[in-house]
Amino acid sequence: MIVVLWSSAVALVLVISVAVSLWVVYAPVAARGLAEMPWLPSRLPALTPDDYAEGIFEAETVFFDTEDGVRLAGTYLPTTARHRKGVIIFCHELRGTRWTSLTFTGGFRDEGFDILAFDFRNHGDSTTQPGHLPIPWATTGEAADIRAAIDYCCRRDEALAGHVVLFGLSRGASAALCVAGTDSRVRAAVLDSIVPTEYVQLYLIKRFMQFHTHSVLWFSRWPDWTLRMLTFWANRIIEWRHGSTLLRVDRAAQRMHKPVLLIHGSRDAFVPLETVGVLRKRMRSRPRLWVVPQARHNETVLEAGGGYTRRVARFLTRHVPAEHDGVGAAPAPAFAGLAMANEGRTDNAHVAR
């Protein structure tokens, strides 16, 4: 009995010692590295509406407010099909803008979907929130922005409730997953180059801690549970420094039971494919994972070409039926380029509070 108690006491002291050492020595270093991780360069074309002299059909500039009072800017495009199936809300990547959807949402208006693309807070034309510094990891701020976008669409037309598709890219995909699992108005989600925060942070610490500490050989031999403890404390520091609360993407995955299409590049160096595989197994619906050969982070659409729209459209057709009482736009030829808004095409900006 004494031996057992003594062993338990030693184990407890060891755990406490590890926690203290991780906090004092490594957590601040890890927090700085994870928060300031340079975003990998992307080959995505920096398109804007000015690239299309003829404009884009029926674009409407809109504004709406979040629950915490941040005004967001967006562009709304009605479907060009006879019958509407729903609305796609595009959630862009870190340091991107709503114009990223120029590359990703081409053709979906023809498939029966309205499109709302918006700028997250502290991005593009949306309001800059003091004290909120954008970081590579999804936070409650981005989740609030997505909920506000859903609110706007459903206020605009109540028939859209239950026919909302969240289309997220990178960090936007992580935030979209966290919202989709708990919002009954969301029907499905398309998540491209998603960043599973917990698994990617563990991967980055194992791979890049050598650049921040001289004890890499000793540190790399630590078991995963100690590294998870390190990321926990590092994230608390990140939240304190950057005025944000990080979302638990792994927990959101466990709650997700709706249709999901995961898209990921086989050569994604920032988010290894295996981390997405682990996240997929956490989801109840075990969603389909489309791996695009040779694609890097955020560049699946470039490698897949025209097959990108066809593949996503098949998923949407299968899981998002047309509204019975919705009224689609009159038939019209879709813009030959990629479906997005040109603010110069309309003199009216729709504002929702």
Domain ranges (residues) in the chain = 2-36+200-238, 49-193+248-352
CA distance 99 to 202: 32
pTM metric for this prediction: 0.83
Q: What angle do CA 47, 311, 89 make, to 5 degrees?
A: 55
Q: Is the pLDDT of residue 324 over 80?
A: no
Residue 2 confidence (pLDDT)? 65
Three-state SS across 181-207? CCCCCEEEEEEECCCCHHHHHHHHHHH
Three-state SS across 210-253? HHCCCCHHHHCCCCHHHHHHHHHHHHHHHHHHHCCCECCHHHHH
- Per-residue pLDDT tens for 253-291? 999 999 999 999 999 988 999 999 999 999 988 899 999
Among 25-34, 125-134, 232-241, which stretch is predicted with the lowest mean pLDDT?
25-34
Calculate what percentage of the chain has a pLDDT beyond 90.
50
86-91/260-265 β-pairing = unpaired
Task: Extract the tokens encoding 269.
Answer: 């160096």
- Per-residue pLDDT tens for 214-252? 555 455 667 778 788 888 888 888 888 888 899 999 999
- The band of 192, judged by pLDDT with boundaries at 50, 70 and 90, is very high
Instruction: Find residue 132's DSSP bridge partners.
Output: none
Residue 161 confidence (pLDDT)? 94
Q: Is the pLDDT of residue 56 over 90?
A: no
CA distance 234 to 237: 5
- Annotation: CATH topology of 49-193+248-352: Rossmann fold (3.40.50)
Residue 54 confidence (pLDDT)? 45
User: 37-41, 325-329, 334-338: which has the highest mean pLDDT?
Assistant: 37-41
Instruction: Find residue 60's DSSP bridge partners.
Output: 76
Q: Is the pLDDT of residue 1 over 80?
A: no
